[in-house]
């Protein structure tokens, strides 16, 4: 299977299933067997997934991508041994990051709910300008890429988590702030957009936010 078929949701689902790390292997860059150069698409998916993991509080070192040929059996064994050692060093997913199981599950579900939107963002605003190794490294090391990711995706991740929390029960600002480890102003800013879209309402009598059906 071409590594270009690796979807962002595959990575998030693997973590949600409790795997401590995810490894993606692809053909050497510029040696793709297909005209689509799908390994560059895999490169982009992994870079975006790492940014999501970092914003969720998950060590991005739990995700790795390597490019090699079918003749690189020894290299693959070395890389996998190295990655396995790194995962053992990091320890169990979630607990090593100080994330309780329920909190980790919620954060990953919130991210997975955003996958269709993130795919669109990647295609329209975060797409690699040119499929070349140099262009990839330059694009994903550029602080502007991180700024744009935070602008387009960062707050959406928190908002998605807020909506999951409100799905269970109505919550006051202070309760949301405590669960999300944000201040009240941070909660209000993120809820504001959803309120304008009619997704979240505020019950003045009970002083709490509620998910609109």
Confidence class of residue 138 from pLDDT cuts 50, 70 and 90?
Answer: very high
CA distance 125 to 148: 8
CA distance 108 to 145: 22
pLDDT at 172: 93
Q: Residue 158 has which token pair?
A: 């928190």
What percent of the chain is predicted at pLDDT more than 90? Answer: 69
Average pLDDT estimate for 102-108: 96
Q: What residue ranges of the chain are covered by domains with CATH 1.10.10.10? A: 169-213
pLDDT at 158: 93
Query: Of 203, 201, 208, whose CA–CA distance to 173 is shortest?
Result: 208
Looking at the predicted structure, is the pLDDT value of residue 34 above 80? no
Looking at the predicted structure, is the pLDDT value of residue 147 above 80? yes
CA distance 34 to 2: 8
According to CATH, the topology of domain 169-213 is Arc Repressor Mutant, subunit A (1.10.10)
pLDDT at 130: 85
Query: Of 41, 57, 54, 56, whose CA–CA distance to 5 is shortest?
Result: 41
What percent of the chain is predicted at pLDDT more than 70? Answer: 99
Average pLDDT estimate for 110-138: 91
pLDDT at 70: 78
CB 62 within 8 Å of CB 102 = no
Query: Of 73, 19, 66, 62, whose CA–CA distance to 43 is shortest?
Result: 66
Report pTM. 0.91
pLDDT at 32: 76
């Amino acid at each position: 299977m071409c590594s270009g078929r690796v979807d962002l949701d595959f990575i998030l689902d693997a973590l949600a299933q409790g795997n401590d790390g995810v490894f993606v292997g692809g053909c050497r860059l510029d040696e793709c067997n297909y005209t689509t150069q799908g390994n560059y698409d895999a490169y982009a998916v992994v870079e975006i997934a790492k940014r999501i993991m970092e914003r969720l509080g998950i060590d991005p070192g739990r995700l790795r991508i390597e490019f090699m040929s079918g003749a690189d059996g020894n290299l693959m064994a070395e890389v996998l041994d190295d990655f396995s050692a790194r995962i053992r060093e990091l320890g169990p997913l979630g607990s090593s990051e100080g994330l309780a199981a329920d909190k980790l599950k919620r954060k990953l579900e919130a991210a997975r709910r955003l996958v269709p939107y993130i795919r669109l963002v990647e295609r329209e605003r975060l797409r690699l300008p040119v499929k070349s190794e140099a262009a990839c490294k330059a694009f994903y090391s550029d602080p502007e890429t991180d700024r744009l990711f935070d602008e387009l995706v960062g707050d959406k991740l928190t908002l998605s988590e807020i909506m999951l929390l409100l799905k269970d029960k109505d919550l006051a600002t202070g309760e949301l702030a405590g669960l999300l480890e944000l201040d009240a102003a941070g909660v209000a800013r993120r809820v504001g957009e959803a309120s304008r879209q009619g997704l979240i309402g505020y019950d003045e009598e009970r002083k709490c936010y509620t998910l609109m059906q």
